[in-house]
Amino acid sequence: MNSRAPVMNDQHAPAVGQPYTRNDQACHDLSIRVRDLNLWYGKNQALNNLNIDLFQKNVTALIGPSGCGKSTFLRCLNRMNDLIPSVRTEGLVEMDGLDVNAPKMDEVALRRRVGMVFQKPNPFPKSIYENVAYAPRMHDLVSRKAEQDELVENALRSAGLWNEVKDKLQEPGTSLSGGQQQRLCIARAIAVQPDVILMDEPTSALDPISTATIEDLMDKLKEQFTIITVTHNMQQAARVADYTAFFHLGEIIEYNDTKVMFSTPAQKKTEDYISGRYG
Ligand SMILES: Nc1ncnc2c1ncn2[C@@H]1O[C@H](COP(=O)(O)OP(=O)(O)OP(=O)(O)O)[C@@H](O)[C@H]1O
């Protein structure tokens, strides 16, 4: 086993060759299983032998210095790296037992199950209503207008935006504030009833109040969805994440319960990073 494999400091060390997991008892709520994942951009290896189990209905934060592979890893979970021609991937990413990279995996269906929210809010140039209704219609999740209306309302309510927009659903999504636009993007992601929501620095373009609103929202959304978020903000990881994985130079150095990792990191590199000594 890679000597720098992720470490779970309050758990039994796994047998040689076995991946690190949170604990045996929790394996029933496994959502995503990653084994020996390697990724290259052309000749440059960006992910190096990653092994990690991600658990259902939790928030997992991916932290680490710039360029350590957090976003690249996130994009492995919904095959968005396939859109980059120079990318080559090896290893297993399994979601609820299904091999995400299997040739017969339907990428459109996969991206319905794995929603994504980006750093910069990116609503479609359409009405607030259409931003939410479009994908469910494309995926045939609704047939009647009344059903569609209900779905739009539910998604906007779940994203904590309904009360602010219910009287202006036909206005452009882009007319909303940055924080509202990000919640609209979250409503759009949850409208297709995914299992997993990937968030790539979802609050880094937002003011502190909008950031706090999104953090509260993540706490509610994890009752229904598995959330994996990239963040540069240590306090945010400590506030929102049940589990945290620390990445460094394309490897997972440590992965653990967030409270444990932040109070007693097992690795010197983790300690240096979370205490702000580098990165
Ligand atoms: N499209 C791409 N083509 C080539 N190399 C890339 C591409 N995207 C990322 N990389 C490289 O892969 C490595 C990991 O980048 P990635 O963006 O995943 O890191 P990150 O930890 O998310 O960084 P940041 O915190 O700055 O967003 C870096 O060396 C980066 O330069």
Pocket test for ligand 1, best of 40, 41, 82 (most atoms within 8 A of CB): 41
The residue with tokens 């990191």 is: 265
Pocket test for ligand 1, best of 43, 72, 249 (most atoms within 8 A of CB): 72
User: What are the residues facing 230 on neighbouring strands?
Assistant: 62, 200
Q: d(Cα 203, Cα 231) in Å, to the nearest integer?
A: 8
Long-range contacts of 151-156 (CB under 8 A, 24+ apart): 151/191, 152/191, 155/187, 155/188, 155/190, 155/191, 156/128, 156/132, 156/184, 156/187
Helices (H), 23-67: none
The residue with tokens 């790539």 is: 200
Q: Are 13 and 35 in contact (CB under 8 A)?
A: no
In b/e form, how buried is each residue of 196-205, taking b as 16+ CB within 10 angstroms?
Answer: bbbbbbbbeb
The string of pLDDT tens digits covering residues 120-151 is 999 999 999 999 999 999 999 998 999 999 99
Residue with CA closest to ligand 1 atom 23: 67
In this prediction, residue 279 carries a pLDDT of 59
Is this complex's ipTM strictly greater than 0.95? yes
In the structure, which protein residues have their CB atom closer than 6 angstroms to any atom of ligand 1?
41, 46, 64, 66-72, 84
User: What are the residues facing 89 on neighbouring strands?
Assistant: 39
Band the pLDDT of 22: cuts 50, 70, 90. Answer: very low
In this prediction, residue 210 carries a pLDDT of 92
In this prediction, residues 238-246 reach a mean pLDDT of: 97
Q: d(Cα 94, Cα 87) in Å, to the nearest integer?
A: 19
In this prediction, residue 23 carries a pLDDT of 46
pTM score of the predicted model: 0.90
The string of pLDDT tens digits covering residues 139-188 is 999 989 999 999 999 999 999 999 999 999 999 999 999 999 999 999 99
In this prediction, residue 99 carries a pLDDT of 94
Strands annotated E in 86-242:
87-95, 98-99, 114-117, 196-200, 226-230
pLDDT at residue 69 tops 70? yes
In this prediction, residues 219-245 reach a mean pLDDT of: 96
Band the pLDDT of 74: cuts 50, 70, 90. Answer: very high
- Decide: helix, strand or coil at residue 226: strand
Average pLDDT, the chain: 89
- Decide: helix, strand or coil at residue 5: coil
pLDDT at residue 18 tops 60? no
DSSP letters spanning 87-130: EEEEEEEEETTEETT-TT--HHHHHHHEEEE-SS----SSBHHH
Residue with CA closest to ligand 1 atom 29: 67
In this prediction, residue 80 carries a pLDDT of 93
In b/e form, how buried is each residue of 91-109, taking b as 16+ CB within 10 angstroms?
Answer: bebbbeeeebbeeeeeeee
pLDDT at residue 10 tops 60? no
Across the beta sheet with 98-99, what order do the strands follow?
44-55, 30-41, 87-95, 98-99
The string of pLDDT tens digits covering residues 87-132 is 999 999 999 889 999 989 998 889 899 999 999 999 999 999 999 9
pLDDT at residue 15 tops 60? no
